[in-house]
A and B are shown apart, each in its own frame.
Chain A
Amino acid sequence: QQQVKQSPQSLIVQKGGISIINCAYENTAFDYFPWYQQFPGKGPALLIAIRPDVSEKKEGRFTISFNKSAKQFSLHIMDSQPGDSATYFCAASPNYGGSQGNLIFGKGTKLSVKP
């Protein structure tokens, strides 16, 4: 029930293409769904986040789509750039902002954007 399942494990996209990463969860008590971007040797950085009362949130080239009934959410990166190459983690928490540290992370997706 505490798991967050993320797919695919790795993804190769051409420059300018759309990158799509999917996550699924079981625990209906989760109230906050962030996506983090992590570069090698660095800590994760918050990219974008959504709450379950919203079906979509867009920030620049990054969009979260949220399907509450299916308990799934996904990250779309439009016009993918080589600089987007990183590992992306979805996460879920019963607390807004994950401020109590109890984020459940997916296993990550390594994105490579080819020039």
Chain B
Amino acid sequence: GAVVSQHPSWVICKSGTSVKIECRSLDFQATTMFWYRQFPKQSLMLMATSNEGSKATYEQGVEKDKFLINHASLTLSTLTVTSAHPEDSSFYICSAPRTGQLLFGNGTRLTVT
């Protein structure tokens, strides 16, 4: 069935390095995908909208040069956290619309040391 798959589920990286997170729609196409960030015991905050074939749209306060988004195909969006710092440590979740609702991936736990 239709599922949003996210990879990796967790990643640890050193400060200053870059990390790429993949979001795939399985068994359906998604011209739009959404990236959220969730801090511990906090709510989900929309970071950006990923658009297939065009530039991503970022929410206010989100650095587009730090969080690079590429919607390479109708089933894949990637989020690259560049020059990661400890404050970027968080739970990143993607979602895609499918038949009138949003399907969420299982998230990626990023820890920057």
Interface on A for B, CB 8 Å cutoff?
34, 36, 41-46, 49, 89, 96-103, 105-108, 110
Identify the closest chain B residue to A99 (Cβ). B97
| Chain B 33-57 interface mask (CB, 8 Å, partner A; 1/0) | 0100000011111100100000000
* B-side contacts of A36, CB under 8 Å: 104
Identify the closest chain B residue to A93 (Cβ). B102
17 contacts between A and B (CB under 8 A): A41-B106, A43-B95, A44-B44, A49-B101, A96-B100, A98-B101, A99-B97, A99-B100, A99-B101, A100-B32, A100-B49, A100-B97, A101-B34, A101-B49, A101-B97, A103-B44, A108-B42
Say whether, besides A97-B97, A99-B97, A101-B49, A43 and B104 are in contact (CB < 8 Å): yes
Roughly how many angstroms separate A42 CA and B101 CA in the complex, as a whole number? Answer: 18
Count contacts on B: residues with CB < 8 A to the other chain.
Answer: 23
Do B102 and A46 touch (CB < 8 A)?
yes
Say whether, besides A89-B43, A89-B44, A108-B41, A101 and B104 are in contact (CB < 8 Å): no
B93 beta carbon closer than 8 Å to chain A = yes
B75 beta carbon closer than 8 Å to chain A = no
B6 beta carbon closer than 8 Å to chain A = yes
Do B95 and A101 touch (CB < 8 A)?
yes
Roughly how many angstroms separate A44 CA and B109 CA in the complex, as a whole number? Answer: 14
Do B106 and A42 touch (CB < 8 A)?
yes
Do B107 and A41 touch (CB < 8 A)?
yes
Given A89-B43, A99-B102, A103-B44, 6 other A-B residues pairs in contact with their CB atoms under 8 A: A41-B107, A42-B107, A46-B101, A101-B95, A102-B46, A108-B41
Roughly how many angstroms separate A42 CA and B10 CA in the complex, as a whole number? Answer: 11
Do A97 and B101 touch (CB < 8 A)?
yes
